[in-house]
Amino acid sequence: CPPPQSGRPRLRVTRSTRSPVISFLASSPYGFVDFVPRRRGRRIRAEATARTRQEKEQQEAEVSAVEDSFAVREAAAAPPPEEEGGFDEELTLAGEDGDWVVRFEQSFNVFLTDTVIFILDILYRDRDYARFFVLETIARVPYFAFISVLHLYETFGWSRRADNIKVHFAESMNEFHHLLIMEALGGNSVWLDRFLARFSAFFYYFVTVGMYMLSPRMAYHFSECVERHAYSTYDKFLKLNGEELKKLPAPEVAVNYYMNEDLYMFDEFQTSRAPNSRRPKVDNLYDVFVNVRDDEAEHCKTMKACQTHETLRSPHAVQSSIEADAE
């Protein structure tokens, strides 16, 4: 509506008018729009557009920072080539629920992983084998949690994913043998280390079950974060102690596991490889830690595949399908 006609002179806002005057006019019965010059209005709209563009660029930068977080943090321990057990450092985002959901899940997982790493760095600064024992005790828990939830869903008839259960069981068995190796090296010799590892594993199990029921993608990504840290930890250990490790014998449990004639379960958790394509050597303790490190890389690849594929396929099932199609 036009301003009321009266004998009172209308006010004009000039270019030299300050913000207090603008605030006063905004509350006046004559209305604010009538008093703001067109140039002033265009400048306000331009500033709002610039702020919107700046906020959008900042959000895109935050997403890029989350995606590249591992590459930045693990730059000091770059993985070896693919044939030596390396893996792709780029994170794959699988987000049907929207990018903001993926960003939240990954940001939370990275924060939680960094917190655990910070605590481990304080407690096990110069105690490598004890640290490895704690890591391997915790690392096998997620696969047991995944299997528990998948069994529950199958019991109620909600889903049936036999290949997922089979692959996760193979992953758990691989981590179990890692744990046996660390125990053979004396990593569990201190009672406090055993208590901390087992109490953390108990708590971690229920956290993973809840996370997996809420968002399988989030749970798989968190497990990927843990496996990436394990890979980096073993890789740094090899670079710092390689010459000494080559002079030490391999534990018997490691020889029995990696040199066993029946490596069906060993092939089963490596979903990025064809069965029988990886056969480690075990000549000394250095070879043992190389194999453990490369196993963690394979776990990381499998966890990454679980985030991008609705149903995971067993490597042996894929090979059987290929052979059947060839016939």
* CATH assignment of the domain containing 104: 1.20.1260.140
Q: Is 61 inside a domain boundary?
A: no
How high is the mean pLDDT in each 10-residue block of the chain (327 residues)? 53 48 47 46 58 58 44 38 47 55 88 91 91 93 95 90 90 95 94 93 95 93 93 94 94 92 88 87 95 94 83 73 56
Q: Is 221 inside a domain boundary?
A: yes
Q: Is 308 inside a domain boundary?
A: yes
pLDDT of residue 79: 42
Summarised one tens digit per residue, pLDDT across range 196-252 is 999 999 999 999 999 999 999 999 999 999 999 999 999 999 999 999 999 999 999
Q: Residues 139, 145: contact at Cβ < 8 Å?
A: no
pLDDT of residue 310: 63
**In angstroms, rounded to a whole number, what is the distance separating the alpha carbons of residues 99 and 67?**
12
Number of domains the chain contains:
1
Domain, as residue range, for 105: 80-326
Q: Is 265 inside a domain boundary?
A: yes
pLDDT of residue 276: 86
Q: Is 38 inside a domain boundary?
A: no
pLDDT of residue 254: 95
Per residue, what are the HEC states of 12-25?
Answer: CCCCCCCHHHHHHH
pLDDT of residue 136: 94
Q: Is 226 inside a domain boundary?
A: yes
Q: Is 229 inside a domain boundary?
A: yes
Which residues make Cβ contacts (< 8 Å) with residue 194, sequence separation at least 6? 188
Q: Is 60 inside a domain boundary?
A: no
